[in-house]
Structure 1
Amino acid sequence: MSSPTSLTEQLDAARPRVTSLFRIVVGLLFACHGASSLFGSFGGVDGAGGTVDTGTWPGWYAAVIQLVGGILVMTGLFTRSAAFISSGSMAYAYFTEHQTEKLWPLENGGEASAMFCWAFLMIVFTGPGPWALDRLLGERRVAEPHRQPTRV
């Protein structure tokens, strides 16, 4: 008769799935920020459906990174690259838009930028988890090795 597993062992066993859930939620929320800025979804940038002007620096480019990066991270496609770029964009946003006013995120309105920056950096190092297109495509590549041309 085996002894019941400890709470730590149960939590460790769930880690891969929770990593995927974390990535999905963070990616979805980030994509929503981009959709809000680009299309006025969810109240837009001003709460009244406003959008950023196309091509303006840095707002429009940040919104594109948010939408595309968020979708890629959420689906688990090119996860680490998309998370790295997304993390960098949020670090840039924090240091150029928020930290110039005051040091602490609670004082300068940069909590979202700081949290997204660190969440994406964590995804860079932990990977996408098992529920990701990266994993599905990687398994296909392994399952279907490249065929060598047959010589006659």
Structure 2
Amino acid sequence: MSSVSPVPRDAVENIKPYALGLFRIVTGLLFACHGAASLFGVLGGAMGKGLTVETWSWPGWYASVIQLVGGALVLLGLGTRTAALICSGSMAYAYFSVHQEMALWPIQNGGELSALFSWTFLVIAAVGPGALALDGLLARRGRAVPAPVTA
């Protein structure tokens, strides 16, 4: 009995960088939206109440800046690993400093989003940006082969 895969293995391997790239783009966009909402009151504002965080307040304003800037960098695929690592740490801090004290499990303490974003950004930092990233475009431009010199 032969095993026939509905999708050729090569096709799956070719799709992986694009799937990762789209995953990175969507994650970065969603995270940047959180930052924009908290900083500028758009998209429902902070906590969906049309509010903004007070400028320079700890940790809300700084977290919102990390969300907006870090999310945008991850979205664009620019400095992806570093930006994703900072975003991951920010969400881990949010989880342990805000949510964890209320209950043990994220479902009980309202920290699902913080936990998911933290782990998601950690994965992106570990595996890289995938396809469709400015990091890759800039790396290719930097490796351009110089034109041959003719005498």
**Where does structure 2 lack aligned partners over 5 or more consecutive residues?**
147-151
Equivalence for 2:149: none
In structure 2, C-alpha distance between the alignment counterparts of 1:99 and 1:7, rounded to whole Å: 43
Letter in 2 for 1:112: L
- How far the C-alpha of 1:74 sits from its partner, in A, is 0.2
Equivalence for 2:37: 36
1:31-110 equivalences in 2 (<5 Å): 31-110=32-111
Is 1:141 matched up with 2:131? no
- How far the C-alpha of 1:45 sits from its partner, in A, is 1.1
Change (3 A) 1:87 1:46: closer
- How far the C-alpha of 1:58 sits from its partner, in A, is 0.3
**Where does structure 1 lack aligned partners over 5 or more consecutive residues?**
146-152
Change (3 A) 1:7 1:83: same
1:116-139 CA distance string (max 9 Å, x none) = 000000001110112100000000
Equivalence for 1:7: 7
1:77-112 CA distance string (max 9 Å, x none) = 000000000000000000000001101111100011
In structure 2, C-alpha distance between the alignment counterparts of 1:122 and 1:26, rounded to whole Å: 11
Q: Identity over aligned residues, as a percent?
A: 59
1:9-49 CA distance string (max 9 Å, x none) = 13332111000000000000000000010000111014332
In structure 2, C-alpha distance between the alignment counterparts of 1:42 and 1:130, rounded to whole Å: 28
SS of 1:41 mapped into structure 2: coil
Equivalence for 2:27: 26
Letter in 2 for 1:25: V
Q: What is the TM-score with the length of structure 1 in the denominator? A: 0.88
Equivalence for 2:131: 130
Superposition CA RMSD, Å:
1.5
- Structure 1 consecutive aligned stretches of length 4 or more whose deviation exceeds 6 Å: none
Q: How many residues are matched?
A: 142
